[in-house]
A and B are shown apart, each in its own frame.
Chain A
Amino acid sequence: MVGIPIGASQPPTHNSYGSSSTGKGLSALASFPLSLMKNSTILEIKGVSKTFGSVVALDDVSLQLNSNEIRGLLGGNGAGKTTLMNVLYGLYKPDAGEIYLRDEKVEIQSPKDAISYGIGMVHQHFLQIDSYTVTENIVLGTSLKNRPTLNLDQEDRQIGDLSERFGLEVNPRALIEELPMGIRQRVEILKALYRGVEVLILDEPTTNLTPQEVESFFQSLRVMVEEGMSVVFITHKLKEALSVCDRISVLRDGKNVVTVPRSEASEDTLVRAMVGAGLEVEESLLFSETGLDQEAVEVGQKSVLRVEGLQIVNEENMPLVRDCSFQIHDKEIFGIAGVAGNGQQELVEGLMGIRPIADGQISIDGASIVGKETSDLLEMGLTYIPEDRLQDGFLPTASVAQNLILGYQRQEPYSKRGFLDWKAIFRTARKLISEYNIITPSAAEAAANLSGGNIQRLMLARAFSHPAKLLVAHNPTTGLDIRSTEFVYSKLLELKEQGMATLLLSDDLDELIRLCDRIATIYRGKIVGVLERSEFNKYELGRMMSGVEAHE
C-alpha cells in the first residue's frame, strides 16, 4: 500500500498545503485543462465549533476554499460534514468561529443570507413542488419581472441557456413529477446557478444517478469550476471523490483530519483518515478487490420467496410494477438494481402488504401471502428496512426504545399477558444501542434527536435483531459511514450463512456486486434481466438500468 500515512495523532495539514502541491495536482487533470493561476481564496471557515446538547458536532474546524476548485469533503456519519455545511448555509448558528468571504468577515444567519453571499446548497433530499414546472420551481422565491402576469418565457429561456452552458440538460417547461431523480437533481443545481451562486455545496449528489449519469454530472461540475465557481462535494464514495475533486478534506469526529490534493490521495490513505485506527482496510469487504472473483457462499436450494407475474397499479390504473417474476432461495442475497423511481418502492410495498397488488402471486415457503396484513407478514418472519427511513420507519416523538420494537410490540418478550414489559424493552434497547453503536444519551431519548446515520442504524438494529427468514432491505446503507457500511455488509453475509433469504434493492451498484448472488435489473416496473454472479459487470448493469436488454 502506497500513500502518506495519516493517523489520528497527525495535526491538521490544511494550512501547510501550498501552491507547489497544487501544481502536482494538475498533472492528474490531463483531460481537464484548468487555469489554476486564477486560484485565490474565496471562502474561509475559521475555528468553527458547534455542539448539540452534550454531543460535539464540530470542534474547531477550519476550511479554506479556492475559486476554480472542486473540494471533496469526506467523513463518516457524525463526522460533521453536513453540520459544517449547514453552518455555512445559515441553517445552524455556530457556537464559535468565523466565516470569511473574500477576506471579509460575514455573518450568515439564514439560507437567504447565504444565497445573497453567493453560497448555494443542494441537499440530499430536494424540496420541489411536483405539480410545478422546472422553471416555476427554480424561480420560486426570487423576484420576477412579470409578477402580475406570471409570464415565464424569459425565465424559461434563461434557464435553458444555463442548462446548455453547464451541460445540465433539462426541459424548463417539464413538470417536476414527470422527471426522474437524476433530472430533478439537475433542477436543484440550476436553482442555485440561477441565483448566481459562486460556491455550490452538494450533499451526496450521486446517490440517485446511474454510472453514465455520474460521468456527465462530473463534466458539468468541471464546467462550473472553469467558469470560476467553487464546488464542495460531500460524499462517502471515495472513488468519486478521487476522480473529480481537486483537493479532498477529511473530517472525523467533528475535527479536521487532513486536506490533501488529489495527486497525493489514495483510497487507502483516505479510508485511514476517515475511520482512524481500528479498521483493517486490507481485510475490509468494502475495499476488497477480490470480491468479484470470490466464489459466492453456497446458495440454498429451498425457495423462500416466489413472485409470479406480479402486477401493481396506481389509482389511475397505470402499471407501476409489470409482470414481475423471480424467486429467492434460502442463503441467497438477491439484488435488484435500478435507477430510483422505477418501481422498486412499489414492488417492496406490494411484498410487505402495504400496497394492494393488481395481479400475480407471491408466496413464502410455498404458501400464498397475497392479501395478508403486514402484521401477519412480520409474524411470519418477513423483516423490512425501508428506504425512506424518516417517512416509513421512524417515530420521531417516540423514544429510541419504542422505535426499536416497532412492529414487534405484540411479541414476547416485549409484551406479556397483554402488558408491555418496559424492563425487557429497555434491556433489548440498551443492548442494541451498544451493539449497533447508536449514539444517543439514553434509550429513553426522543428519537427525533438522533442524526441521520444513527436513525439508519436504528432501522438496521430493528431489522437484524428479530428472527426472520426473509429480509427486504431497500438501500440499507444510505447515509452510513464506512465502518457502519462494513458492519451492515458483514451482518448481511452472516445472516445469509445462517440461512436467511435477502431481497436487496440498492442504488449503489458496487454494493450489489459485492453482496449479491444474483442481480436483477428493474426498469419502468419491469425486470429487464437477471445476471448471475459470474456475469456481474457494472456497465452492463448500467445499460440494463436504462432499459437496454442484457446482451446474450
Chain B
Amino acid sequence: MANESTIMEPTGKREGAMTQPEYIRGGRVYSPGVDIIELENELLLVADVPGARPEDVEIDYEQGMLTLHARVEPRRKGEDLDWLLYEYGVGDYYRSFQIGEAIDASKIEAEFKNGVLTVHLPKTEAARPRKIQVKVSS
C-alpha cells in the first residue's frame, strides 16, 4: 500500500481548494472536488465536473504529473437574466496532481458519467503487489 505522499498537489497549491475560482482566458476556473482511491492494481481519480461534456475533457500525464482540464462554456450566454438566487458560478475545471506511484501511462483510461470523471491509472508491473511464495526446503 502506498503511503499518503503517493499523490500530491504541486507545492504552492492549496489542498482541498474545491470551489476557489481563478481567472484564465477571461472566465472563471474551478478546482473540482476529487476522490483518489487506491486499488490493488490501479489508482482511481474521481472528479466532480458537472456540466462538462466528455469531448471537452483533457487529461494529460507527463513525468508523474496528472492534469485535468475541462472546458465549460457558460450555459446562459449573453442573456441578461433576472437572477433570484445565484449560489454557484460556471466555468472551466482545472486541477493537477503529482503521482508518486509508478503508473503505466499508455494504459490510462477515463470514463465519464453523470458529470463525474473517473480516471483509471494502472500501476506498472513493478509497482504491483506480489505474493512471494515461500518454499519449504526439504
Are A and B part of the same complex? no
